[in-house]
Every structure is written in structure tokens, then in C-alpha cells.
């Protein structure tokens, strides 16, 4: 089974969609997919679908949803079903206390994202900027929208989607850092300006935009970016910019921004918001 969660949710078996349109079975499959090849407990599925107020018939209803999913999988398998000892039950497996979705070695965009992200972060730590930019750029290209954008998420899916979005932002920061190290500041200004508008409280993005603008000879715009961030933090959070951002602003004022580590602990600016 192939699974996509980095954007619209898709699950395909033998090239045929097995993603239900009904809200609750869709949630069940999404949670099983996010924890593919691992046991998902009945209690976790109940919490995701019904929260703290499950119906009295919750066990029967959950079993009905599992049956519906297996029916979709069996139809997608077609003649291939004969090659599995238990048919669709070999893909969506009943285990003591829960269920397990066996992807049978299918593609999973989240796993591919994590592999590329790890390779990119290792390259960053080693100072291999070209490799870091390439790996992290490929990881970001897997995203087709916000994680599980078309699933009505319950508490567990919401946690997973938030984790994925945070990971996406970390990869984005890393890829931009690598590109700045490679001298691509002119090409980055448009992207960073859009990101700064979208994330007005994110210090990391604003710091990187300040660096790109300064490197491009736009010192005044870099200082304007700092003032906009300072205003947004003050109005929305009652905070001043972090010491790292303040250090970066002073470096821009003094035209002493000699390298990308100025004001960037461990090579990067801290993030807020």
C-alpha cells in the first residue's frame, strides 16, 4: 500500500484508491497509516474518532469501519488477493488489543521525508552545503499542502500533523541556511519575504531574510525587517526580539555581518511562533 499524508491524504492499494470519503472511517485509516506497520490500539482509535464521549456501541461501530476498509482493500487487490494468505486481512491485520496496517513494502511519503531530512541535517552539521540544500529541497518537494489537509483531525491526528509541520519548518530553515551559505541570497529574498509575511512571529525566517537582504546590499530593508518583527512580537506576545536577533540587528547597523553565524546560536536563529 502506498500512503501520502504530506498534503491531501491518499492510500492506494495496487494503484487503486482505498481512501474512504466518510469522515470517521477516513480518520481510522489515517491514524493506521501514520503508524503504518505498527500496532494501533483500539483505545487510540476510539479516542481519535469519538474523543471523550464514545457511544455505547463503540466496539461494534469500530469493527464496522474496519470491515469497510477491508472491503475497499479487497476490491483494490482484485486477483492479487489470492496471493495473500488472509486476503485483505493480511493488509489490515487484527492483533490483540488493536489493528496494524501492513503496507507490504509500499511507498510512504512521510518515511521518505524523514530519510531525506536526516541526510540533509547530517550534511548541514558536516558543512556540506550543496548536499544539505539538495537533500532538504527534495524533502520539501514531497509536500503538497498542509499535513492531512483534507482529514477532520481528532486529538491524535492533530498531534501528528503538528509534529510534521514543525519538522517541515525545521527542514525549510535548514535548506535556506544551506542556500545562504552557497551565496544564493538574491534568489532567496522573494521566498523569504513571502514566508516572513506568512509567519510574522518567526524569528528564524526574519533573521534569514535580514541576512539575505544585507548580503544583497539592501541594508535599509534588512533593518525594516527587524523593526517589523519587533513590532509584531511586542503587539502579539508582549516580547522583545531574542538576543540573537538583537545581535544580528547591531551587526547590520555596524556593517559587521561578516559571516552567517552572527547572532545564530549553533549556526541558526531561534524560532518564535
Q: Is the pLDDT confidence value at 210 over 90? A: yes
pTM summary value: 0.88
pLDDT value, residue 80: 66
What would the pLDDT profile of 108-128 be if each residue is shown by its tens digit?
Answer: 999 999 999 999 999 999 999
Sheet hosting strand 39-41, strand order edge to edge: 39-41, 98-101, 92-95
Under the banding of pLDDT at 50, 70 and 90, the label for residue 81 is low
What's the CA gap between 249 and 173, in Å, rounded?
19
The pLDDT of 136-144, averaged and rounded, is 98
Q: How confident is the model at residue 83 (pLDDT cuts 50, 70, 90)?
A: low
Query: Which structural domains are found in the chain, ordered by start?
Result: 2-101 (1.10.10.10), 184-264 (1.25.40.10)
- Answer for the pair 147, 41: CB distance below 8 angstroms, yes or no: no
Detail the DSSP E strand segments found in the chain.
2-4, 10-13, 16-17, 39-41, 92-95, 98-101
pLDDT in tens, 173-208: 999 999 999 999 999 999 999 999 999 999 999 999
Q: Which residues are registered as beta bridge partners of 12?
A: 2, 17
pLDDT at residue 82, rounded to an integer: 57
Position 271 scores a pLDDT of 37
CA-closest candidate to residue 137, choices 181, 168, 183? 168
Amino acid at each position: 500500500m502506498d500512503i501520502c499524508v504530506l498534503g491531501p491524504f491518499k492510500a492506494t492499494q495496487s494503484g487503486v484508491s482505498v481512501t474512504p470519503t466518510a469522515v470517521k472511517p477516513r480518520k481510522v485509516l489515517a491514524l493506521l497509516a501514520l503508524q503504518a506497520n505498527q500496532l494501533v490500539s483500539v483505545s487510540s482509535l476510539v479516542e481519535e474518532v469519538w474523543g471523550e464521549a464514545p457511544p455505547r456501541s463503540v466496539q461494534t461501530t469500530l469493527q464496522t469501519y474496519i470491515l469497510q476498509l477491508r472491503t475497499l482493500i479487497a476490491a483494490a487487490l482484485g486477483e492479487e488477493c489470492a496471493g495473500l494468505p488472509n486476503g485483505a486481512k493480511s493488509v489490515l491485520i487484527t492483533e490483540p488489543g488493536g489493528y496494524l496496517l501492513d503496507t507490504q513494502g509500499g511507498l510512504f511519503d512521510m518515511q521518505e521525508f524523514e530519510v531525506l531530512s536526516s541526510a540533509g541535517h547530517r550534511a548541514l552539521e558536516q558543512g556540506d552545503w550543496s548536499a544539505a540544500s539538495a537533500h532538504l529541497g527534495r524533502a520539501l518537494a514531497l509536500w503538497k499542502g498542509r499535513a492531512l489537509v483534507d482529514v477532520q483531525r481528532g486529538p491524535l491526528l492533530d498531534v501528528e500533523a503538528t509534529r510534521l509541520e514543525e519538522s517541515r519548518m525545521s527542514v525549510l530553515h535548514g535548506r535556506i541556511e544551506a542556500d545562504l551559505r552557497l551565496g544564493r541570497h538574491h534568489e532567496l529574498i522573494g521566498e523569504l519575504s513571502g514566508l516572513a509575511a506568512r509567519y510574522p512571529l518567526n524569528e528564524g525566517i526574519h533573521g534569514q531574510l535580514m541576512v539575505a537582504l544585507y548580503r544583497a546590499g539592501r541594508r535599509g530593508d534588512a533593518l525594516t525587517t527587524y523593526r517589523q518583527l519587533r513590532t509584531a512580537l511586542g503587539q502579539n506576545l508582549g516580547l522583545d526580539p531574542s538576543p540573537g536577533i538583537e545581535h544580528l540587528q547591531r551587526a547590520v547597523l555596524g556593517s559587521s555581518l561578516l559571516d552567517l553565524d552572527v547572532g545564530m546560536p549553533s549556526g541558526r536563529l531561534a524560532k518564535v511562533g
